[in-house]
């Protein structure tokens, strides 16, 4: 799973090769929801492995995921997650015998870049996997400690889930989350003990994927036609929210890129995000070149695209963090921003024009360094505990052998899946090569036709020169021989007139061609001007509509005030009538005629 496998042709087979046994090497299990196949979760093991091996070079990391129905992940070179299997006492005992410690990392619910969504319990089993919460279900948890490494909780916990976490985290040697929202959710679940807050490990992407690796993957993307051949593009994430608002998003992109045109690259960051609606809308309405990375692109390909982008637009906040690691400006759009086209246009325009950022800050890097130092210390302490125990029993050796077989089987399945993808890519490459050969043949045919026409023109020019030479000779002979008949002179004059007419016709045709070119250029300029006027008229119409809505609201308020005033006037009139009646009664009482 190391990043240097990108430079190898068979990463899974290389990692599956047997190594000499070394009892001092820590055996670390990396557990997470890598079955979700989301970019932000799949890239975490790369970072974790690189940071642990910088501190413990001999460490052996094994990646596990709660794979449903025995699914294998082969979507990325060098990445293969083994199945955690069925949670229980027996499986926990096998894992305890095979591993020294376990690091739970990534999203506890699985990756989700859609704000406001909830986990799909039917598609992926329970909301929280027992392996990620309870860990090891036996009393041997002290022998194989389980720690949380920058875990994220994207959703609020239910009562049953909160109780499970309170019980399981009480015995954890180290618990850390990557954002304040996750820590608040644990606090609301009444989880006791220290919960460390660390920066998002995605800030360490430049160390997990060095410049040489990213540059090589960028050359591959350009060769496949998935990335512009030159320049930094605007990378747009394909997601459910953006797919639902494809037309509005494309209109905002077109307006924002009018004065700063850059190519656009569509990229998938999660399962099920790819859709043709957004791609078709982008290719149909955007006036800039558009490209699309396929859904089977590997993690290193996505990292290369994000790191070489001019700006990023999407709904994934963690993708924005990944971009900030490379200093790439990003717009993380939620539903409120997508519902305000003017604000979205301004955000995209400012982001495209913004300069590159400085990357991760020194305090964030220091905090992450302390975080991984602590994880490395836990791994080394677990090895010391194992070495102090007695020698391995037969049950321990059998458990390790079964676990090795399970991991090797997961790697074989991942390698088979990756091999299928490589075959498909090679078939696509062969198809592209065939199309390129056909295009080269057509170019060669046009070149040969052009050469033939040039040769014919040269021959005609030579014939014309020879004819002129002959005419001059005939003229000299005519001057010498005055006895030629008048008919010969008339024929010569007729030939001269025809030549003059041909020259005049050629001049007229050339003039007409120039005039047509000028008209076409003026028509193109008028069309561009008309398009600009139409865009400005649309903006004025949108503003007029907004002003009309405000005017209607003002009228409604005014009518309400008038109705209230009329009601007050009616009550005043009634009061005046009552006062007048009372005054008349008093006057009647004061008159001398009153009894």
Mean pLDDT by 10 residues, the chain (595 residues): 37 37 78 79 89 90 74 50 83 85 87 51 57 70 81 88 88 92 92 91 94 93 91 88 80 88 88 64 83 86 94 91 94 86 91 91 94 93 76 55 61 61 64 70 74 73 77 77 74 83 88 88 88 88 87 87 88 89 86 62
- Taking the C-alpha atoms of residue 290 and residue 280, their distance in angstroms, rounded to an integer, is 10
Dihedrals phi, psi of 105, to nearest 5 degrees: -140, 170
Q: Which two tokens stand for residue 379?
A: 């791994």
Domain boundaries, the chain: 3-199+361-429, 208-353
DSSP secondary structure code for residue 194 in this structure? -
- Taking the C-alpha atoms of residue 543 and residue 36, their distance in angstroms, rounded to an integer, is 44
- Taking the C-alpha atoms of residue 225 and residue 293, their distance in angstroms, rounded to an integer, is 9
Give the residue carrying structure tokens 């998002």: 200
**Sheet harboring 146-152: ordered strands across?**
82-83, 60-65, 27-31, 101-107, 146-152, 176-177, 196-197
- Taking the C-alpha atoms of residue 543 and residue 96, their distance in angstroms, rounded to an integer, is 66
Cβ atoms of 197 and 177 within 8 Å: the answer is: yes
Give the residue carrying structure tokens 């009153």: 594
Q: Would you state the pLDDT for residue 110?
A: 65
165: part of which helix (H) or strand (E)?
Answer: helix 159-169
Q: Which two tokens stand for residue 277?
A: 């609606």
Cβ atoms of 330 and 315 within 8 Å: the answer is: no
- Taking the C-alpha atoms of residue 53 and residue 51, their distance in angstroms, rounded to an integer, is 6
Pairing of strands 196-197, 290-292: unpaired
Q: Tell me the CA distances in angstroms from 90 to 93, 95, 137, 141, 394, one per residue in order.
A: 5, 9, 9, 13, 15
Dihedrals phi, psi of 432, to nearest 5 degrees: -65, -40
- Taking the C-alpha atoms of residue 487 and residue 474, their distance in angstroms, rounded to an integer, is 15
Q: Would you state the pLDDT for residue 192?
A: 85
Q: Would you state the pLDDT for residue 206?
A: 94
- Taking the C-alpha atoms of residue 292 and residue 236, their distance in angstroms, rounded to an integer, is 9
Q: What is the DSSP code string of 441-502?
A: HHHHHHHHHHHHHHHHHHHHHHHHHHHHHHHHHHHHHHHH-TT--HHHHHHHHHHHHHHHHH
- Taking the C-alpha atoms of residue 260 and residue 329, their distance in angstroms, rounded to an integer, is 15
Fold classified for 3-199+361-429: Rossmann fold (3.40.50)
Cβ atoms of 301 and 222 within 8 Å: the answer is: no
Dihedrals phi, psi of 154, to nearest 5 degrees: -85, -10
Same fold? 3-199+361-429, 208-353: yes
Q: Would you state the pLDDT for residue 14?
A: 36
Q: Would you state the pLDDT for residue 139?
A: 44
Q: Which two tokens stand for residue 466?
A: 């020879």
DSSP secondary structure code for residue 260 in this structure? S
Q: Would you state the pLDDT for residue 499?
A: 85
Cβ atoms of 351 and 229 within 8 Å: the answer is: no
CB-side exposure of 314: number of CA atoms within 13 Å? 30
Domain 208-353 in this protein, CATH class:
alpha beta
- Taking the C-alpha atoms of residue 470 and residue 467, their distance in angstroms, rounded to an integer, is 5
- Taking the C-alpha atoms of residue 268 and residue 42, their distance in angstroms, rounded to an integer, is 13
589: part of which helix (H) or strand (E)?
Answer: helix 486-590
Q: Would you state the pLDDT for residue 121?
A: 45
- Taking the C-alpha atoms of residue 202 and residue 208, their distance in angstroms, rounded to an integer, is 9
Pairing of strands 330-332, 311-314: parallel
């Amino acid at each position: 799973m190391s990043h240097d496998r990108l430079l190898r042709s068979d990463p899974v087979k290389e990692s599956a090769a047997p190594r000499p046994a070394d009892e001092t090497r820590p055996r670390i299990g990396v557990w997470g929801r890598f079955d979700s196949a989301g970019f932000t979760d799949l890239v975490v093991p790369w970072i974790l492995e690189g940071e642990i091996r910088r501190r413990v070079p001999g460490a052996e990391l094994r990646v596990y995921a709660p794979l449903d129905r025995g699914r294998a992940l082969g979507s990325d070179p060098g990445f293969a997650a083994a199945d955690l299997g069925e949670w229980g006492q027996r499986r926990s005992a096998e894992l305890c015998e095979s591993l020294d410690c376990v690091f739970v990392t990534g999203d506890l619910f699985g990756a989700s870049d859609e704000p406001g969504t909830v986990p799909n319990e039917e598609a992926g089993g329970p909301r929280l996997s027992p392996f990620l919460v309870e860990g090891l279900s036996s009393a041997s948890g002290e022998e194989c400690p389980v720690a949380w490494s920058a875990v994220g909780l994207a959703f609020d916990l239910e009562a049953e889930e909160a109780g499970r976490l309170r019980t399981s985290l009480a015995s954890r040697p180290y618990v850390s989350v990557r954002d304040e929202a996750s820590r608040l959710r644990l606090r609301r679940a009444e989880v006791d003990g220290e919960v460390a807050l660390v920066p998002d490990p995605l800030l360490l992407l430049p160390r997990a994927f060095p410049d040489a690796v990213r540059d090589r993957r960028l050359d591959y993307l350009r060769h496949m036609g998935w990335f512009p051949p030159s320049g930094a593009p605007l990378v747009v994430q394909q997601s459910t929210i953006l797919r639902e608002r494809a037309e509005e998003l494309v209109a905002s992109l077109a307006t924002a890129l009018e004065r700063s045109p850059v190519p656009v690259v569509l990229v998938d960051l999660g399962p099920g995000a790819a859709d043709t609606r957004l791609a078709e809308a982008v290719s149909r309405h955007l006036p800039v070149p558009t490209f699309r990375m396929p859904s089977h692109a590997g993690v290193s390909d996505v990292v290369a695209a994000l790191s070489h982008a001019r700006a990023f637009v999407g709904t994934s906040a963690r993708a924005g963090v990944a971009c900030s690691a490379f200093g790439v400006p990003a717009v993380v759009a939620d539903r409120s921003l997508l519902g305000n086209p003017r604000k979205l246009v301004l955000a995209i325009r400012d982001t495209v024009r913004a300069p590159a950022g400085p990357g991760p800050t020194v305090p964030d890097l220091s905090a992450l360094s302390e975080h991984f130092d602590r994880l490395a210390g836990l791994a080394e302490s677990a090895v010391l505990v194992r070495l102090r125990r007695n020698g391995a029993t037969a049950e321990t050796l059998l458990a390790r052998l079964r676990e090795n077989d399970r991991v090797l089987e997961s790697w074989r399945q991942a390698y088979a899946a990756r091999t299928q993808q490589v075959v498909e890519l090679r078939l696509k490459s062969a198809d592209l090569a065939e199309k390129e050969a056909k295009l080269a043949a057509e170019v060669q045919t046009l070149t040969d036709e052009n050469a033939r026409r040039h040769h014919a023109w040269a021959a005609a020019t030579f014939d014309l020169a020879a004819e002129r030479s002959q005419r001059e000779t005939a003229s000299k002979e005519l001057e010498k021989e005055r006895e030629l008949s008048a008919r010969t002179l008339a024929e010569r004059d007729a030939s001269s007139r025809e030549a003059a007419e041909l020259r005049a016709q050629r001049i007229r045709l050339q003039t007409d061609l120039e005039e047509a070119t000028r008209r076409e250029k003026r028509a193109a300029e008028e069309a561009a001007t008309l398009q600009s006027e139409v865009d400005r008229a649309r903006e004025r119409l949108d503003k007029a509509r907004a002003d009309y809505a405000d005017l209607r609201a003002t009228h409604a308020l005014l009518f309400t005030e008038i109705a209230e005033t009329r009601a007050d006037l009616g009550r005043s009139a009634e009061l005046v009538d009552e006062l007048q009646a009372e005054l008349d009664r008093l006057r009647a009482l004061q008159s001398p005629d009153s009894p």
